[in-house]
Structure 1
Amino acid sequence: MLTAVYRSPKKEQTYLFVEKRDDFSRVPDALLAKFGTPQLVTMVNLANRDKLALADIDKVKTNLTEQGFYLQLPPPKEDLLADHKKQLGIEQD
């Protein structure tokens, strides 16, 4: 399963996987508008992989098959101060 991966120029660390290079026909227009003009990052053969760095490969494959695309959002930002206060039992403002 050869897949094209694009990054968003508008949203940092946001990637769009599609079944075929430059084929966004199954991606909703509203999503493309928020995503911006997709910029090709790489082509990935998912058949030769058993995992991806930041996404569940099975979920990616399922979404590609059923929806024609997979949107990878950035991981949530870690708030170390809030975590530390929570461990100390300090109420946050």
Structure 2
Amino acid sequence: MKCAIYKSHKRANTYLYVSAGHDLARVPKALLDMLGRIELVMTLELTPQRTLAHADPAEVRRALQEQGYFLQLPPADFPVTPS
């Protein structure tokens, strides 16, 4: 499964994964408004063997299939400050 990953410039260490090809079409407008300006940081093939630094790949794949996006929030021990 190919996905695109965007970072939020409004919320530090917050990333939005979307199904490539569908891009932002299935992401709720309220969520996009909350994230502010977003920037594409990479696209990747999300295979069962793929590891991710701060998200469970199986959970990301499931969310992409069911709702078309996955929101990765900062780790709980990471201080959240606006960027």
TM-score, structure 2 normalization: 0.85
* SS of residue in 2 equivalent to 1:47: coil
Greater CA drift, 9-18 or 40-49: 40-49
Listed as ranges, the matches of 1:31-46 within 5 Å are 31-46=31-46
Q: Which has the higher helix share?
A: 1
Q: CA deviation at 1:72?
A: 0.1
Which residue of 2 is the match for residue 82 of structure 1? none
After TM superposition, what 4+ stretches of structure 1 lie above 2 angstroms from structure 2? none
Distance in 2 between the 1:78 and 1:41 partners?
20
1:25-82 per-residue CA deviation (whole Å, 9 max, x = no partner) reads 1000000000112200001111263321110000000000000000000001369xxx
Alignment RMSD, CA only?
Answer: 1.9
- Give the percent of matched residue pairs that are identical in Structure 1 and Structure 2: 43
Which residue of 1 is the match for residue 52 of structure 2? 52
Which residue of 1 is the match for residue 70 of structure 2? 70
Distance in 2 between the 1:44 and 1:14 partners?
17
Q: Give aligned pairs, total.
A: 79
Tell me, yes or no, if the aligned pair for 2:19 and 2:68 is still in contact at 8 Å.
yes
| Structure 2 spans left out of the alignment, 5+ residues | none
Larger radius of gyration: 1
Higher relative contact order (CA closer than 8 Å, sequence separation 6+): 2
Tell me, yes or no, if the aligned pair for 2:2 and 2:19 is still in contact at 8 Å.
yes
